Structure 1
Amino acid sequence: MAVLAITAMLAVTLDQITKELSTNGLTEGEPVRILGGLVYLSLLRNSGAAFSLGSGYTWVFPLVTLAVVCWIGWMSARLRSVPWAVALGLVLGGALGNLGDRLFRAPGVFQGHVVDMISVFGPYGEYFAVFNIADSCLSVGVVLAVLLELTGRQRDGSRLTKSTTKEKTTA
């Protein structure tokens, strides 16, 4: 549980610091080109999900996030695996980072717009959605969880093998 909590706290802290630096140092519509144009820092306030999907349903995202946070809290009591703790900590940290925006940023509670600032290959998300550190943590955490699941690593620290899979299916 400590690894999960530390991972989540680091993710939220890094996300909030980059959002604060972005809102104070960047101007909307004036992207900053870095790494030879591989990455642009472009301040954007997103009312939807990735690619601005669901913009008209901003109030839904905090509810889904609260459900995810509750599920991770429930799972953490059974957690005995460091890799799973990192994966769930990244998901939790990313979810909480964006939840903070939804609750405390304009235009209001449960309708706040998420601050995004990282755009790859183009300044305005022409090739990929503009995202933030919380989005990155969520994505990496989910991919890690899928890989752990596919390789048979269990949240209790055990590892599924072909023989234990056969035993479970015949039982």
Structure 2
Amino acid sequence: MKKYWFLSLSFFILILDRVTKEWVVKNFYRFETKKILGNFLRFTYTRNPHGVFGIPLGGKYLSLILTLCAFVFVIYLFIISKERFLAFALSLIIGGAMGNLWDRLTAGSVVDFIDVGIGRWRWPTFNVADSFVTIGIILAVAYWFFEEKRKGARSTCV
């Protein structure tokens, strides 16, 4: 299976992530909030020096090392994948991971700006890269779950 299309998708996600983050950095003050869909969807410019959801992972360098290890592992999974659906899911993760790695390597923190919530309950602020990583993980887990069920069903039929 040729994977060039999937890698093109990863680079498109990287470019989309970079463009949106640059737009936010140039048009917002830090912690400035603009309502997009009332109070439900807002853009709030923040920087996250930590891991996912702002959880500290033992310092900037440990966080970077863990991120790089996870990135290399996903690349490995992409290389050995033989199914188009799994390659698609992994390409979403790779594209998003490249966007956040870019920020970590160049600025030491990740630009976040998508702020979603209802009333006083707010989801941790995130970005375009995070969205694609999340979608890719959900699709990959679904693939592995259904693939295991399919393998189990096949083995019981023999």
TM over 0.5: yes
Range with greater deviation from structure 2 (88-97 or 48-57): 48-57
From 45, 64, 67, the equivalent of 1:65 is 67
| Structure ranking higher in helix proportion | 2
Instruction: Tell me which stretches of 4 or more aligned residues in structure 1 moved more than 4 Å.
Output: none
Asked if 1:150 is matched to 2:145, the reply is yes
Letter in 2 for 1:127: R
Deviation at 1:33, TM superposition (A): 0.2
Structure 1 residue ranges without an equivalent (≥5): 106-111, 154-158
Secondary structure in 1 matching 2:47: strand
Structure 2 portions without partners, runs of 5+: none
Alignment of 1:91-170 (within 5 A): 91-105=93-107, 112-121=108-117, 126-152=121-147, 160-164=151-155
1:10–1:164: structure 2 CA closer, same or farther, 3 Å change rule?
farther
Please say if residues 11 and 90 of structure 1, whose CA atoms lie closer than 8 Å, have aligned partners that are also in contact.
yes
Tell me if structure 2 keeps the 8 A contact 1:3–1:86: no
Give the TM-score taking structure 2 as reference length. Answer: 0.86
Aligned positions, number: 156
What is the correspondence of 1:19-30 to structure 2 with a 5 Å cutoff? Answer: 19-30=21-32
RMSD: 2.5
Give the Cα–Cα distance (whole angstroms) in 2 for the partners of residues 126 and 55 of structure 1.
24
- Cα distance in 1 for partners of 2:57, 2:151 equals 41
Which letter maps to 1:7? L
User: Would you tell me which structure has more strand in proportion to its own residues?
Assistant: 2
- Distance in 1, matches of 2:49 and 2:14, equals 19
Over residues 27-82 of structure 1, what are the superposed CA-to-partner deviations in whole Å (9 max), with x where a residue is unaligned?
12320001122210000011112332106512122212222232233223322222
**CA–CA distance in 1 between the matches of 2:60 and 2:30?**
21
How many percent of aligned residue pairs carry the same amino acid? 29
